[in-house]
Structures are given as structure tokens and as C-alpha cells.
Amino acid sequence: MTNKDLFEALRMFEKEKNITMDYMLQQIEKAIEIACKNNYGGNESVVFKVDPEKNLFDAKLKKTVVDEVYDPNFEISLEDAQEINKRKRVEIGDEIEVPLDTKHLGRIAVSSARNVIRQGIRAGEKGQTLIEFQSKLGEIVTATVERIDPKNGVATIKIGKSEAMLPKSEQLGYENLKEGDHIKVYIADVKDNDRGPQAIISRTHPGFVRRMFEQEVPEIFDGIVEIKSVSREAGSRTKMAVKSNNPDIDAIGACIGPKGARVNKIVEELGGEKIDIIEYSDEPEKYISAALSPATVCKVEIVDEEKKSCKATVPDGQLSLAIGNKGQNARLAARLTGWRIDIRPESGFFGEDEDEDEKQDEVPENTEAENTEEAVESSEE
């Protein structure tokens, strides 16, 4: 291969693999140094002259000029040195650069050099993949479904020039993905392990809904309307709290859009997932009351501010609405606000005000709606 062929190949490689020519030239130089070390008894003092614009790539091995050569790998006679440097006077003890003929490096040395170049290519591709994923971290990207595992339903997704895995657990329940489908995915995390960079992608992550609203609602993108919190049970329901930084802009109205156009577009992408948009408030009582919508809340009492525990009272007829199907509404409200919410009927059916603090401590974490579900069952009886 001539120098011209080498640089043309590197330019093509740079275009296809997006690995820079400078990086590949460094790998080639490294490979030649290792080959020289193996073939010339440990001598790796190689000098390179590289100019891609002139298609120049030249490698020379440094040797010391001696009166009598004992180690030809590191030494060269005065006569031979003078023959190489005809225009310059050479003396004993000088170091000169001897032209290197890569054809004489031997099979083992060449094989080692090839391995170094291959490793360099893999490392370069890995680095490019990592950069590509990291640049999209926390964003929604449009990807192509390449294949579906028939056993576990895991989808292999093509993102740009890289691949990622979309587990069944990160797919919406109703979805039946097929090869060639174009879908939107949320890049939740990027990990670099022994197998290379890995993007953690999802369609069920709360951030997926957040980013979709940022894309669809200009007021959110411009920072006029702020998304304070999102809680989601993918494929079923999402609650989102928003706040307007401009008193003239209605945060909820901006998210819904004219005739519901904005929110409907997002609901369609999510396959009919219900979205409750509520107004955020710095006052916990107002915030919790709004979070329990569509149920009406009579009052909210703070039980323990430090532990973020409260009691919400609702009309008797809306107890089941506040709790939701299998406790979903109460569960999402608790995640949205960060408060443990004990929902009670207005009639005071529970009637157990004594030892209230003791009972509150007995409520396990992440089971905010258990007491109210038992109350519903008792009422039905």
C-alpha cells in the first residue's frame, strides 16, 4: 500500500466510523513502535514524519554511530551512517535516523501491529459510542427497532450508529413492537462496562413524559412554565405538577393547549395513558389537595412535618375516587408530593383520633392508601 492509498483509506474510515484520522495515525505509530521493539531487540526509538495533506508518512529508527558494531539493533557503523547521511558529516557517538522498511519487520511483528490497530479501532468505536450516548443523556431520541427477541420480548434498538436494548419492562404494556418500527425512547442512564458503553433506555420512565411536554409546550421550553414533579404508572396514568413563573400565563392551560391539542398529542404517543395536570403550590395543604384530584378534598392536616406525613379528609362519596383503582390515585399523589397521605372520610367513620400518632407510625412506607382501602371494605360491609 502506498502512502496515498493509506491516507485515502483513513479518510474513508473517518467518514464511515467517525473515528478521526489523527487517532488512527496514533494507533499505526504505536503499532510500528511495538513491531520494532519485537523485531529489533527492544529498540522502539522510532521517529515519524506525518503530513496528511501531502500524503506523507515516514518512519525511521534511531541508532548510535559506533566504530565497531556489537548490537546491530541499536548500533550502526560509521561507514553505513555516512552512506545514509551523505550531506552531513557523521561522527562516532552521533545518533542518526535509519530509514525503516516495514517489509522487514517479520510476520510476528506485523501480526502484533495488526492487533494493536484492531484494538485501537475498537477503543475508538467504543469512545464514539460513549460520547454519542452521553450527549443524549436525559433526552428523547427517535430510534429504529432492529429485532425482537421472541423469548423475552427484548427489543434491539438502533440509535444513530449505536445499538441499545429496550427490555420488555421498559416498554408500554399495550405495545407490540415490530422490526422496522420507528419509536421514541428516553435515555435514562449511560454505563461503561467491560462490554462497552451501554445506554439504559425506557418508554416507562417519568422523564419520558417530562421531555415530551418540554417538546410540545413552548412555555415549558422557554422556562415560563416549570414542571415541578412527575409521578407515573406507565400505560395507565401520570400525574404532573406544574408552576407558572408568569402571573399572566396559566400553567395548566398552557400544557393542555388549544382544545387539548398539546396534551392529546402526548396521550396518543403514550397509547391513551391518562394524564392529570395539577398546579404546584409551596403550601403542602394546597399541593396535596390538588394532587388527589379528581377527588375533592375537604381539608388536609399535617401530622408530622419532619416525616412528611399528613391526613386528608374527603367527602364520604368520594373516598374510593380519592384512593383510586387499587390505590393508584393515592399512590401517585404520594409520589408526586413526597408526602405520606392518610385518606379519611368526612363522616369520621374511622373515629379513632386517640393514639393517632401511634397509628401513624404503624403505617408502613409506600403503603399510603392501605388504611383507606380497609375503610372502603368496611363501609361496603
pLDDT of residue 51: 80
- Give yes or no for a contact between 201 and 157, defined as CB atoms under 8 angstroms apart: yes
pLDDT of residue 20: 77
- Domain finish residue from 262, 280, 298: 280
Question: H/E element holding 48?
Answer: strand 46-51
Query: Tell me, what CATH number does 88's domain have?
Result: 3.30.1480.10
Q: State how far the Cα of 323 lies from the Cα of 376, in Å rounded to an integer.
A: 9
Query: Tell me, what CATH number does 172's domain have?
Result: 2.40.50.140
pLDDT of residue 60: 85
Residues 142 and 120 reside in one and the same domain: no
Backbone phi, psi, residue 87, to 5° = -85, -10
**Which segments of the chain does DSSP mark as H helices, in order?**
3-17, 21-39, 78-84, 107-135, 206-216, 218-221, 251-256, 261-269, 284-291, 319-323, 328-337, 356-362, 370-380
- Domain finish residue from 75, 100, 129: 129
Residues 198 and 216 reside in one and the same domain: no
pLDDT of residue 357: 42
Give me the sign of the Cα torsion angle 346, 351, 355, 359: negative
- Domain finish residue from 96, 129, 162: 129
Q: How many domains does the chain have?
A: 4
Residues 185 and 251 reside in one and the same domain: no
The angle formed by the CA atoms of residues 310, 315 and 316, to the nearest 5 degrees, is 105
pLDDT of residue 380: 37
Residues 299 and 372 reside in one and the same domain: yes
Predicted TM-score (pTM) of the model is 0.62
Residues 224 and 177 reside in one and the same domain: no
Q: Which domain holds residue 246?
A: 209-280
Q: What are the pLDDT digits (tens) for 114-166? A: 666 677 667 666 666 666 777 788 889 888 999 998 888 899 988 877 788 89
Q: State how far the Cα of 46 lies from the Cα of 48, in Å rounded to an integer.
A: 7
pLDDT of residue 210: 94
Residues 159 and 270 reside in one and the same domain: no
Residues 276 and 311 reside in one and the same domain: no
Give the mean pLDDT per block of 10 residues along the chain (381 residues).
70 74 80 78 81 80 86 85 81 84 57 65 68 80 89 87 86 84 89 75 92 93 94 93 94 93 92 92 94 93 92 91 92 95 81 42 40 38 32
Residues 194 and 259 reside in one and the same domain: no
Q: What are the pLDDT digits (tens) for 166-195? A: 998 898 877 788 888 898 999 888 887 766
Residues 294 and 262 reside in one and the same domain: no
Residues 200 and 227 reside in one and the same domain: no
Residues 294 and 349 reside in one and the same domain: yes
Instruction: Read off the C-alpha cell for 264.
Output: 392529546
- Give yes or no for a contact between 156 and 146, defined as CB atoms under 8 angstroms apart: yes
228 Cβ contact partners less than 8 Å away, ≥ 6 residues apart: 241, 242, 243, 280
The angle formed by the CA atoms of residues 7, 110 and 74, to the nearest 5 degrees, is 100
pLDDT of residue 349: 56
Query: Tell me, what CATH number does 351's domain have?
Result: 3.30.300.20
pLDDT of residue 353: 44
Residues 301 and 276 reside in one and the same domain: no
Q: Mapped to the 3 state alphabet, what secondary structure does 236-299 carry? A: CEEEEEEEECCCCCCHHHHHHCHHHHHHHHHHHHCCCCEEEEEECCCCHHHHHHHHCCCCCCCE
